[in-house]
C-alpha cells in the first residue's frame, strides 16, 4: 500500500509514540509512551532468553547482551486482528523462504497485542547490485512454490492491505477467491454511497471479466503463498545486499497477482520481471498475461480508492473499462 505515490515508510517509532496517552505534560506523555511498550517487550524477551539482558535501542529497536537486535511493537485491543495477520503472514513466509522476511521471535494477538521480530537494517533494493535479481529468484523458486496445505485459495484469517481489512476464507478455485477479494472492496465502496458508477463497473468485472480470464481458460495455476502488497516500500536490502520483504498482506493465490502492484508504482526493473519469469514462466494463455495483470492491479487501485478516495477512483474506472472492453460480449 502506498500513499499518493510518496515512498516514505512510516517510522515505527512514531507508532510506539502514539500508543499510550493519559494526563501530564507532553514530555511526560512521550516518555511514558515510549518506555511502557519497550518495558513490556523487554519483559517478553527476558522470559524467552533469561540468560541475556536487554536494553532499548531507540525507536522500535531492542538490543540484547548477546549482540542481537530486535524489532518490537505493541498495539491496542482494537488491533488484535492486524497483529495476528502480520504474525501468521511472516511465519508462513519465513517457513517458505527463510531469511527473506523478518523472523517472528514472539507475538500475541490476545489482550495486549505485540510482535517481536528480528531487526533488519535495510536500504533501498536498488542500492545493491544484484539484490533485485536475488529477490526475483527467491520469489519464483521459494515463496511462490509454497502451496496451501488444504489445496485451496485464500487465507486462514483476515489480513490487512494497508488499513483495509481483507476478510479472506478458503475457496476451491482462484476465480472464486479473487472474486471475493474484489467484492469485499466493492462492498466497502458501496457503503460510502459516493462511488455508484465505479461499483456498477466493479460488479460487471465480477460477473464477466474474472470468470473469463481466471476461469477454465487459465492453466497451471496453484494456490501459492503471496506477499500480497509487494511494492518498493515493502522491500529492501540489508547491509550485505540480501533482499528482504515485510509488511505483508498474505494469501494463497496465483503467483502473477503478487507482481501487480510493483508494476503500478515502480521500484522493480524490467530485468527483475525477466529474471522472475525465466524461473517461473507466465501462465497460459501467455497472450492474456497483460490483461490478467490489469485485473490484478484493479484490486490495488480499488483498495487505494477505499483508503484515499477520489484520487484513485478515476484510475480504477479507467482500468475497469479497459478490462470490460477486452472480453467478448
How crowded is the C-beta side of 244, counted as CA atoms within 13 Å?
A: 22
Given the residues 118, 229, 238, 240, select the one marked as catalytic. Answer: 229
Number of H helices, E strands in the chain: 11, 13
Kind and range of the H or E element at 200?
A: helix 196-204
Three cell numbers written together for 285 = 494463455
Question: Dihedral of CA 92/98/101/106: which sign?
Answer: positive
Distance in angstroms (rounded) separating the CA atoms of residues 318 and 300: 14
**Residue 229 among the catalytic residues:** yes
Distance in angstroms (rounded) separating the CA atoms of residues 181 and 57: 39
Residue 326 buriedness (CB in 10 A; 0-12 / 13-18 / 19+): middle
Active-site residues, by number, are: 229
Amino acid at each position: 500500500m502506498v500513499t499518493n505515490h510518496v515512498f516514505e515508510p512510516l517510522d515505527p517509532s512514531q507508532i510506539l509514540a502514539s500508543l499510550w496517552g493519559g494526563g501530564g505534560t507532553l514530555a511526560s506523555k512521550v516518555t511514558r509512551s515510549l518506555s511502557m511498550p519497550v518495558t513490556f517487550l523487554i519483559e517478553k524477551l527476558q522470559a524467552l532468553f533469561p540468560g541475556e539482558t536487554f536494553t532499548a535501542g531507540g525507536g522500535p529497536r531492542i538490543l540484547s547482551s548477546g549482540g542481537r537486535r530486535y524489532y518490537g511493537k505493541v498495539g491496542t485491543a482494537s488491533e488484535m486482528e492486524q497483529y495476528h495477520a502480520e504474525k501468521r503472514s511472516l511465519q508462513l513466509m519465513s517457513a517458505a523462504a527463510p531469511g527473506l522476511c523478518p523472523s517472528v521471535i514472539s507475538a500475541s494477538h490476545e489482550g495486549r497485542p505485540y510482535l517481536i521480530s528480528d531487526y533488519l537494517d535495510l536500504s533501498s533494493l536498488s542500492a545493491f547490485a544484484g539484490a533485485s535479481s536475488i529477490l526475483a529468484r527467491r520469489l519464483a523458486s521459494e515463496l511462490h512454490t509454497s502451496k496451501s496445505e488444504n489445496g485451496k485459495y485464500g487465507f486462514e484469517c483476515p489480513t490487512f492491505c494497508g488499513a483495509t481489512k481483507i476478510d479472506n476464507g478458503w475457496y476451491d478455485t482462484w476465480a472464486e477467491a479473487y472474486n471475493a477479494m474484489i467484492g469485499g472492496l466493492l462492498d466497502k465502496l458501496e457503503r460510502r454511497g459516493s462511488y455508484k458508477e465505479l461499483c456498477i463497473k466493479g460488479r460487471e468485472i465480477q460477473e464477466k471479466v474474472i470468470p473469463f480470464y481466471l476461469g477454465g481458460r487459465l492453466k497451471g495455476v496453484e494456490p501459492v503463498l503471496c506477499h500480497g502488497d509487494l511494492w518498493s516500500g515493502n522491500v529492501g536490502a540489508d547491509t550485505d545486499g540480501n533482499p528482504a520483504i515485510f509488511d505483508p498482506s498474505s494469501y494463497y493465490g496465483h503467483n502473477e497477482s503478487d507482481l501487480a502492484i510493483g508494476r503500478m508504482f515502480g521500484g522493480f526493473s524490467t530485468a527483475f520481471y525477466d529474471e522472475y519469469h525465466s524461473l517461473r514462466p507466465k501462465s497460459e494463455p501467455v497472450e492474456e498475461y497483460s490483461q490478467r495483470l490489469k485485473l490484478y492491479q484493479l484490486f490495488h487501485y480499488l483498495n487505494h480508492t477505499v483508503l484515499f478516495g477520489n484520487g484513485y477512483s478515476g484510475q480504477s474506472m479507467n482500468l475497469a473499462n479497459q478490462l470490460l472492453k477486452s472480453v467478448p460480449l
